[in-house]
Amino acid sequence: MTTRPVPELFSRIVDTALDRTVVPGFTAVGLGLRRRLPGWPADPAPGALAGRHVAVTGATSGLGRRTALDLAALGATVHLVVRDTTKGERVAAEVDAAAGRPGAARVWWCDAADLDSVRTFAGRFLAADLPLRAVVHNAGALPARRTESPQGHELTQALHVLGPVLMTDLLLPGLAADAGRVVLVTSGGMYTQALPADDPEYRHEPYSGSVAYARSKRGQVELLPVLTERWAPQGVTVHATHPGWARTPGLDASLPAFSRALRPVLRTDAAGVDTTTWVVASEPAPEGGHLWHDRRRRPTSVLPGTTPALADRVRYWAWVAGATGLAP
């Protein structure tokens, strides 16, 4: 019988306590404490991404902008996949200046909720013949009212699930060329919701933007096993990362009361993207198919009634495959 060394066991106990009590674990307090615990994974080496290409959606502000800056600081050429190219060019100039390299960032137009736009973008990107180390699906929205994508899908599902799945599937040739990593940036809100297998489009009950957002994020993590099986034959791994509670323009706009109440302990944007950067740049790659928060694997369900039956996951994936036109 083997036993864990006391420092490692102590670290696990403290880390789990932070995670389960939510408020300290999701705020700046949690990351600050965890960094000081034994066993904290090493930072990616300087220049870890030199010569590599990474695509980041929703890169004009908040966590997407910070992800682009931090990946470029490690040597990556960052492809900013954005709806507003004017803002994208401003961020690209900022990334170039911070990295000290002209061309450290390039701007691509794409509406990640519009499946036709996703197909057009993927075709243009593949035509550039660039190997992809990673795609970071960061684009997000929390609409106050039920809104539909150009294809008629509920917006949070289209933006957080359908668009990312289709985009990744189309970009597999580029990802396979560099043992690529796919990161779905999720949210702790998903812990409060079950998988909406019966009503993914949110048609049959009064709409709540925050609930729809959390359900779509639940969908991301529940698809991890399915997407791992689908993309692993190409040498591509898929991960979900939970940034904790970070102060961003999106949080201030969509949940202003929450943002004001927790402002003293909210994470910075750099702290919010720490685990995403680590997943993309660390060697060897973290194990695929899992949810990560503060550089550790996390359970995908902690509340009763939020763990889906296999049949629910199968039905949800069948809906995703049908909506995106992919073979299930």
Active-site residues, by number, are 213
Is 291 in contact with 242 (CB distance < 8 Å)?
yes
Distance, in Å, from the CA atom of 131 to the CA atom of 220, rounded to the nearest integer, reads 25
- What DSSP element (H or E) covers 161? none
Distance, in Å, from the CA atom of 159 to the CA atom of 152, rounded to the nearest integer, reads 12
Instruction: At 48, list the tokens.
Output: 């870890």
Residue 264 per-residue DSSP state: G
Distance, in Å, from the CA atom of 185 to the CA atom of 293, rounded to the nearest integer, reads 10
Tell me the H-state helices in the chain: 6-20, 23-26, 28-35, 62-73, 85-99, 115-127, 155-157, 163-170, 172-176, 209-222, 224-231, 249-254, 256-261, 269-272, 274-281, 310-324
On the CB side of 78, CA atoms within 13 Å amount to 36
Question: Closest by alpha carbon to 185, among 293, 313, 87?
Answer: 293
